């Protein structure tokens, strides 16, 4: 008589497979099920948490800076400031470790977005290197931010600009929760404002003067048109006002403010085709909204899904690509777990991004 093979049930599978009651192959850093469906895999968090910070060999770092100059800079400049991105950023970076590491983090993400097999690394490996450089940069940037001087204000400003793009790029990959990138981006746009308040004159006349002038931007209030908006996105954003609870005055005002600023950002983009109003939205909402967002209150998450809808309009940019879509997917999943009363609104959001 043949003995029956005993069955041992593994408890090391990813959270996504457990939630869907499917067998996880436990391949790291991304299991087969999550990789096939292009969703975030919890095994990645365990995998990268267990790994030491890994940076490229020095010779390849030099190649990376060259890649930034030739390929990355032209894709993120506005045209008139190409020299700033191609020449000034590398020059300043060679004199400041956190700026150099920040520049390499963003360029690694560009390599990941291109998925170039000739580079010798898979996209997830480039993303891993990007996180390594960003982690190393933050170790020295955060102390510098507490004491802005005429000596370090230019590098600190340049790093904050880079990090905003890095956070946006991380929305579209599966190494992190996209909500973490939203909060991180808010932190660094606030960092730009802090540096501006402490070193305005130095920045205006400094090496990043052209970028600094652009970021001052236009007053968003001029884009609050009086005519009724007829496009689908505007109509859907306006519909959010109907969900606000007038009895919860503080939270209702926070939600109204966040919704209002979404509309302003969308109008600005329609009028001037500049993405800054959209991408910087998390930095302009008030703290009460952010607290509700961090507490995963359904209305706060729903409002942020429309931020994902606006980001989806920028999907032609390599530093965003599927970032808006990933954010919408993540937030919709969070809303569905906590509230069944918003199914109509969720369907409207999905329709706007083609889900």
Asked whether the beta carbons of 294 and 198 are under 8 A apart, the reply is no
64 lies in the same domain as 207: yes
Counted domains in the chain: 3
Residue that wins the pLDDT comparison between 150 and 229:
150
Angle at 296 between CA 15 and CA 26, to 5 degrees: 10
CA dist 237 and 62 (Å) reads 46
Q: Which residues of 320-340 are buried (b: 16+ CB within 10 A; e: fewer)?
A: bbbbbbbbbbbbbebbeeebe
80 lies in the same domain as 207: yes
Q: What is the arithmetic mean of pLDDT over 175-183?
A: 75
**Would 105 be classed as within a structural domain?**
yes
Structure tokens at 332: 């919709």
Is the pLDDT at 175 greater than 50, yes or no?
yes
Where in 193-290 does DSSP place strands (E)? none
Domain extent for 231: 220-353
pLDDT of residue 45: 57
Structure tokens at 145: 């931010």
Is the pLDDT at 207 greater than 50, yes or no?
yes
List CB contacts of 150: < 8 A, sequence separation 6 or more: 199, 202
Q: Which of 323, 45, 58 is nearest to 175 (CA)?
A: 45
40 lies in the same domain as 72: no
25 lies in the same domain as 157: no
Q: Which residue has the tokens 């920028």?
A: 314
pLDDT digits (tens, 9 = 90+) for 220-272: 444 444 344 457 888 888 888 888 776 677 888 999 999 999 998 888 888 87
Residue where a domain stops, chosen among 5, 30, 49: 49
CA dist 342 and 4 (Å) reads 50
**Would 1 be classed as within a structural domain?**
no
The one-character DSSP state at 52 is: P
**Would 322 be classed as within a structural domain?**
yes
110 lies in the same domain as 168: yes
CA dist 104 and 130 (Å) reads 7
Asked whether the beta carbons of 82 and 214 are under 8 A apart, the reply is no
Asked whether the beta carbons of 324 and 290 are under 8 A apart, the reply is no
**Would 4 be classed as within a structural domain?**
no
225 lies in the same domain as 259: yes
**Would 210 be classed as within a structural domain?**
yes
| pTM score of the predicted model | 0.78
CA dist 202 and 185 (Å) reads 24
Cα–Cα distances (Å) from 203 to 83, 138, 234, in that order, read 17, 21, 36
pLDDT of residue 9: 55
197 lies in the same domain as 325: no
CA dist 33 and 27 (Å) reads 10
């Amino acid at each position: 008589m043949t003995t029956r093979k005993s069955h041992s049930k593994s408890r090391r599978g990813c959270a996504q497979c457990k939630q869907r009651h499917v067998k996880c192959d436990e391949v790291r850093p991304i299991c087969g099920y999550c990789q096939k469906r292009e969703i975030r895999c919890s095994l990645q968090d365990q995998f990268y948490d267990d790994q030491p910070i890994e940076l490229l060999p020095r010779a390849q770092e030099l190649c990376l800076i060259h890649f930034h100059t030739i390929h990355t800079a032209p894709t993120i400049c506005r045209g008139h400031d190409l020299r700033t991105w191609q020449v000034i950023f590398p020059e300043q970076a060679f004199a400041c470790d956190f700026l150099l590491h920040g520049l390499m983090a963003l360029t690694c993400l560009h390599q990941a977005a291109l998925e170039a097999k000739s580079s010798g690394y898979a996209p997830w490996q480039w993303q891993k290197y990007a996180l390594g450089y960003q982690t190393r940069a933050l170790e020295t940037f955060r102390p510098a931010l507490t004491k802005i001087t005429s000596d370090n204000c230019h590098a600190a400003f340049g790093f904050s600009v880079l990090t905003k793009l890095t956070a946006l790029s991380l929305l579209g990959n599966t190494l992190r929760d996209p909500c973490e990138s939203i909060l991180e981006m808010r932190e660094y746009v606030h960092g730009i404002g802090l540096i501006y308040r402490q070193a305005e004159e130095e920045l205006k006349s400094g090496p990043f003067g052209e970028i600094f002038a652009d970021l001052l931007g236009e007053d968003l209030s001029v884009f609050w048109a009086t005519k009724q908006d007829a496009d689908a996105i505007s109509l859907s954003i306006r519909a959010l006002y109907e969900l606000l609870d007038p009895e919860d005055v503080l939270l209702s005002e926070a939600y109204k403010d966040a919704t209002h600023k979404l509309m302003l950002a969308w109008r600005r983009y329609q009028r001037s085709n500049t993405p800054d109003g959209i991408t910087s939205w998390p930095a302009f909402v008030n703290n009460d909204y952010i607290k509700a967002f961090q507490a995963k209150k359904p209305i706060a998450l729903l409002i942020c899904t429309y931020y994902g809808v606006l980001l989806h309009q920028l999907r032609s940019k390599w530093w965003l690509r599927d970032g808006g879509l990933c954010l919408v997917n993540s937030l919709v999943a969070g809303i569905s777990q906590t509230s069944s009363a918003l199914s109509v609104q969720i369907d409207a959001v999905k329709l706007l991004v083609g889900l």
